[in-house]
Amino acid sequence: MDTFINISSSVFLLTGSFLCISGGVGILRFPDFYTRMHAVGVTETLATAMILIGLMLHNPDFFVDIKLMIILIMSLFISPTASHALASAAMRNDFSQKNNEKPDSEQVKPWNP
Amino acid sequence: MESLIDIVLLAFLVGIAFAIVWMKDLLAVIMLLGIYGLLSASFFVAMDAVDVAFTEASVGAGISTLLMLVTIAMTGRSEHPVRHKPFLALAVVIITGSLLIYGTLDMPYFGSAQAPVHQHVAPRYINDSIEEVGVPNIVTSVLASYRAFDTFGEVVVIFTAGMGVLALLSVVRRPKNTTGDKARDIAKIDLINDSMHEQHLVLRIVTKMLIPFIFLYAFYVQFHGDYGPGGGFQAGVIFASAIFLYAMLFGMSTARRVINQSFIQLLAAIGVLLYGSVGVVSLLNGKNFFDYSALSVDPIAGQHLGILLIELGVGCTVASVMVIIFFSFADRKDNGQNLESNGIENNLKENNKK
Amino acid sequence: MLIAATLAILIVMVMAITRGIMGPTLYDRILAVNMFGTKTVLLISLLGFVMGRPEFLDIAIVYALINFISVIGVLRYSDSSIFKHSNQQKK
């Protein structure tokens, strides 16, 4: 039983790490903001859940498991919400594909009174 | 393994610091400062300084980012172009820095057992604090009992900062003598400024679910400080950040209706008074100032009661001062926006004159 | 396994910082900060287990909350009219 739990915990942790790294590659390599956001937003929730479940299986202490469960539930709420808010703010501010590649130093005028 | 993590985190810190110096866009700088706060907190965790990490997480990464954002929203987003020559300043910085590094050469090595800090009072704190104070978390017993006078000073400093912000930034409420259409227009502008919640249904619902949890968690941090990381400072900051979240999503006018400004100011003063009066009571009972064993017949119970009361005072003061500072800044910003939308041409004219 | 996961998180943190410094736009930076915050939560949880003191999880909870609040704050104030005004002045 113990070996089964250990192996499943390792599998969860490794899957989570793989998803994390794929999200990281996505944020570095994808061409524009919306695709980057898609890479991060999709992998982030699942990777967090995987790693936290792996830690839960790794640990027999009940109180620590409750805390991990709280973190898991909160990140399940928070990270999709943050992604949604970010995407809709970008949409609302007419942040379309065409002005995407402009660096923001050009988008903003230096403040001179 | 742990030294590897330390090295990687410190390298991150250096990289972020250079990027902050190099960047001109202040909003990006603030975001990098948020990352800096998160990084230094994880660094503190790796160094086993859990209480410091807690404070850094809630203050450095959370509250200060928000306050700087409000400031930036008032002042504008990019740095002034620098016109003077930087060589004098650079020389001063380099000389001071090298003197400081020269000074560290005399310091004992990190973690050395011969260091004065480990010789002087630390052994007593580590060995005797369980018997003398009876609190499992040594940091709390040092902060709240052995060094209660220092902590009192910190609380007074925070209180003074809040009063200073209030004195400098508190705005006269907008004149209400405008009638009819004008008043309705102004109310409409208020509504537009505050209307982020109408655009964000998802955010509104999730935030409504989260805010009670944040309050509950702040109370947990407040009262669990004797046993684990946490205490009044962190709890106050977490409590205040929940109120910030509410004010940001539902608008300043709604938040003002929920939170009474004069009550908050009263609460800040009550926190300091509660802290100070615990000291005075122990003085009147014939012990030293802030010697909590005078509070009860059993010295340990007295210590527990004293620590509970002063942490409560710290929490009240920190939370209400943070709320005061945020509200003053955000009010100032909203007024500035109204001025701008009402008299934008005047502003432009003035700018042209300059 | 814990150590492998920690190393993976550190690598992802490097990637997020790179994107945060490179930009090129404001929203990329917000995205990078958000991602960095989530990874910090995971790093703190993992560090607690690696160092054998899982009581550190309190800090991870604070991180998750603070991260959410600061992302909302950045979005709220990057929407504010002054920033848009400075954009319009440029055009």
Which comes out higher in pLDDT, residue A60 or B20? Answer: B20
Phi, psi of B151 (to 5 degrees): -65, -35
Instruction: For residues B69 and B133, state if they share a domain.
Output: no
Cβ–Cβ gap B35/C74 under 8 Å = no
- Out of B50, B78, B106, pick the residue that ends a domain: B78
Cβ atoms B37, B57 nearer than 8 A: yes
Contact C31 A61 (CB under 8 A): no
Total domains in chain C come to: 1
pLDDT at position B338 over 70: no
> B66: distance to nearest CA of chain C, Å?
6
Residue B21 has pLDDT above 80, yes or no: yes
| Chain B: residue whose CA lies nearest to A109 | B78
ipTM attached to this prediction? 0.84
Count the alpha carbons within 13 Å of B182 in the hemisphere toward its beta carbon. Answer: 7
Q: B127 and B50: one domain?
A: no
Are B306 and B174 found together in one domain? Answer: yes
**Token pair for residue B52?**
């410091």
pLDDT tens digits for range B250-309? 877 778 888 888 888 899 999 999 998 988 888 888 888 878 877 777 878 888 888 888
Does residue B134 share a domain with residue B277? Answer: yes
Residues B274 and B127 in one domain: yes
B236 occurs within a structural domain: yes
Residue A95 has pLDDT above 70, yes or no: no
Q: Is C45 on the interface with B (CB under 8 A)?
A: no
Residues in A closer than 8 angstroms to C57, CB to CB, are: 64, 67-68, 71
B225 assigned to some structural domain: yes
| Residues of chain B with a CB closer than 8 angstroms to some CB in chain A | 24-25, 28, 75-81, 199-200, 202-203, 206, 209-210, 213, 351, 354
Final residue before a domain boundary, out of B28, B49, B78: B78
Same domain, B124 and B195: yes
Residues B220, B329, single domain; the answer is yes
The residues with which B78 forms a beta bridge, in sequence order, are B25
Residue B111 included in any domain: no
Of C17, C29, C40, the CB nearest to B16: C17
Do B244 and C85 make contact, defined as CB atoms within 8 angstroms? no
**Nearest CA of chain B to the CA of A102: how many Å?**
14
Of B199, B203, B354, which is closest to A81 when you measure between CB atoms?
B203
Q: Which domain holds residue B50?
A: 1-78
Work out how many domains chain B is built from and give that number. 2
Confidence tier at B354 by pLDDT (50, 70, 90): very low
User: Which residues in chain C have Cβ-Cβ distances shorter than 8 Å to B31?
Assistant: 20, 29-30, 32-33, 74
CB contacts, 8 Å: C49 with chain A: 55, 58-59
pLDDT averaged over chain B? Answer: 80
Q: Is the peptide bond before B116 cis (omega within 30 degrees of 0)?
A: no
Terminal Cα-to-Cα distance of chain B (whole angstroms): 60
Residue C86 has a pLDDT of: 42
Please check whether residue B92 lies inside any domain of the structure.
no
B191 shares its domain with B271: yes
Flag if C86 and A111 touch (Cβ within 8 Å): yes
The answer to whether residue B113 is domain-embedded is no
For residue range B307-328, list pLDDT tens digits in order: 888 889 999 999 999 998 888 8
**Does residue B86 lie within any of the structural domains?**
no
CB contact under 8 A, C27 and A79: no
CB-CB under 8 Å, C34 with A86: yes
What CATH number is attached to the domain comprising B22? 1.20.120.1200
Domain limits for position C57:
2-90
**pLDDT per residue as tens digits for the range B198-213:** 567 788 888 888 899 9
Give the angle subtended at the CA of B124 by the CAs of B123 and B125, to the nearest 5°.
90
